[in-house]
Amino acid sequence: MSTDNLIIFDTTLRDGEQSPGASMTKDEKVRIAKALEKMKVDVIEAGFPIASQGDFEAVKAVADVIKDSSVCGLSRALEKDINRVGEALKNAANPRIHTFIATSPIHMQMKLRMEPDAVLEQAVNAVKMARGFTNNVEFSPEDAGRSELDFLCRVIEAVIDAGATTINIPDTVGYNVPDQFGLLIKNLMERIPNSDKAVFSVHCHNDLGMAVANSLAAVQNGARQVECTINGLGERAGNASLEEIVMAIRTRQDIFTCDTRLDTTQIMNCSRLVSGITGFAVQPNKAIVGANAFAHESGIHQDGVLKNRETYEIMRAQDVGWADNRIVLGKHSGRNAFRSCLKDLDIEFESEEELNDAFARFKELADKKHEIYDEDLRALVSESEAQLESELYKMVSLKVCSETGEIPEATIVMSIDGKEESSTSTGSGPVDATFKSIEKMANSGAELKLYSVNNITTGTDSQGEVTVRLELDGRIINGQGADTDIVIASAKAYIHALNLLENPANRAHPQHADV
């Protein structure tokens, strides 16, 4: 079978960020973008620059550092949006502008209050404007999945003539089903006279749980770009999940006539990074990246797999990055061993100071936990990076009393802007008491929207990784902390979230500003 290239367009940093609670800071977006580049994603949609100053800066920061993937920014079909994207992508090695306008009757009448001809004209003008910045221009007729075929054909033909090089067909509300969506792509490609001048792409939402199936049906009918996100993150029920699309295509090369250039061994790394940063846990039975995706419980299955792995496994766990969790270091390991283990995990530090800071944390951890695994090292490095972001509040010490029949009490000493203060509170449990004592001093008024704990490795001496989501005046922030003591991990996560709230760059949800 001939194999075409299927372009993987990742929109975790744009559509993924539109999930309520999934907002990311500029530094977090850069970290995820670097992991996507390493995985060889073709296009990274980094954000929606007109939405806010914060998102403009995040897209710019990603465009400044990513060299091996194309970096894309989203814009409505408006001059001010396109100028803003052009500015954000100024230093990108391979910039792409993605512009969109809705074409379905309901969106044109109720949302845009525009006649179809005016929509077509605005689409064409936007594509021409975008071509003034780059010859890599993508156009999306928003809500294409509910648009009229004749009108869709007219718009697409006109924007290809105007210079669009990728035509993306979004099922914006996740309304389509596989046979019908596949046929839509086939019809468009057959009916539009200049369809061979552009790559056809799809962008499917998961409202009916069919985003991946719809995307794959489109690929079988000629689409050669798929828009997707890590862990299926995205607006409402999410987008098509990148790992499921990529592994379906790779595993079923007997039926697909295309493949991606992705390094699939990086999938788990990206999945963990996105889940850690956003606080969106991955369900255990999630395909490819869920904790049980390669676990065999029943005796018959275990017996079969021991005799021949392929009896019950269609993919190899290591091909998607599920390495056996190796014990890599212990309390006697030195700096060189530490540095070399991080190198094996492709973790690099920008400065000697960052390495020293991480090494000091490693020594502290190794005193409490004798065997340090790959996952512990990853968490430790994420924590060092989080700490460097902003440091108005620092935890100095924490004392918690919890006893059956007694009311839990926590006393925390924090340094606030360099000055040490302490406070004591009681609560319904040790974590509640700790958060109350922190809040007594910080007085942020933020509302706790999510508190989640995950163990990083197995065993009772494992580190707990905590996410704390705070909301203040419509801003939603995720803080993270890790420690072998989950109350301390919780305090670290709360303090991290407070520091993020203090940073003006994180003040508004990057994509929820009034545009």
Footprint on this chain of ligand KIV (rule: CB under 6 A): 15, 100, 140, 142, 168, 170, 172, 203, 205
The closest alpha carbon to 41, from 256, 305, 227, belongs to 227
Residues 55 and 20 sit within 8 Å (Cβ to Cβ): no
142 contact, one of ligand KIV, Zn ion, none, CB 5-8 Å limit per kind: ligand KIV
**Cβ count near 436 (within 10 Å):** 18
185: part of which helix (H) or strand (E)? helix 178-191
Q: Which is nearer to ligand KIV, 146 or 363 (CB)?
A: 146
Q: Which is nearer to Zn ion, 195 or 229 (CB)?
A: 229
Q: How far is the CB of 121 from ligand KIV (least distance, A)?
A: 19
Q: Which is nearer to Zn ion, 15 or 375 (CB)?
A: 15
100 contact, one of ligand KIV, Zn ion, none, CB 5-8 Å limit per kind: ligand KIV
275 contact, one of Zn ion, ligand KIV, none, CB 5-8 Å limit per kind: none
Give the chain's end-to-end CA distance (angstroms, integer): 47
Q: Which is nearer to ligand KIV, 14 or 496 (CB)?
A: 14
Q: Is 28 in the site for Zn ion (CB under 5 A)?
A: no
Q: How far is the CB of 240 from ligand KIV (least distance, A)?
A: 11
Q: Which is nearer to ligand KIV, 31 or 205 (CB)?
A: 205
Contacts of 352 (CB under 8 A, 6+ apart): none
243 contact, one of Zn ion, ligand KIV, none, CB 5-8 Å limit per kind: none
Which residues on adjacent β-strands are paired with residue 226? Answer: 8, 202
Q: How far is the CB of 40 from ligand KIV (least distance, A)?
A: 23
Contacts of 323 (CB under 8 A, 6+ apart): 268, 374
Q: How far is the CB of 100 from ligand KIV (least distance, A)?
A: 4
Q: Which is nearer to Zn ion, 230 or 355 (CB)?
A: 230
The closest alpha carbon to 374, from 330, 350, 342, 336, belongs to 342
Longest distance between any two alpha carbons in the chain, whole Å: 77
Q: How far is the CB of 190 from ligand KIV (least distance, A)?
A: 23
Q: Which is nearer to Zn ion, 97 or 497 (CB)?
A: 97
Euclidean distance between CA atoms 321 and 341, whole angstroms? 16
Contacts of 373 (CB under 8 A, 6+ apart): 325, 326, 327, 328, 456, 457
Q: How far is the CB of 35 from ligand KIV (least distance, A)?
A: 22
CA 324 and chain centroid, separation? 24
Take residue 407 and report the two structure tokens written for it.
């009311």
Q: Is 171 in the site for Zn ion (CB under 5 A)?
A: no
Q: Which is nearer to ligand KIV, 228 or 438 (CB)?
A: 228
* DSSP of 65-131: H--SSEEEEEEESSHHHHHHHHHHTTT-SSEEEEEEEE-SHHIIIIII---HHHHHHHHHHHHHHHH
Q: How far is the CB of 239 from ligand KIV (least distance, A)?
A: 8
17 contact, one of Zn ion, ligand KIV, none, CB 5-8 Å limit per kind: none
Q: Is 15 in the site for Zn ion (CB under 5 A)?
A: yes
140 contact, one of ligand KIV, Zn ion, none, CB 5-8 Å limit per kind: ligand KIV
96 contact, one of ligand KIV, Zn ion, none, CB 5-8 Å limit per kind: none
Residues 348 and 40 sit within 8 Å (Cβ to Cβ): no
- Where on the chain is the footprint of Zn ion (CB under 5 A)? 15
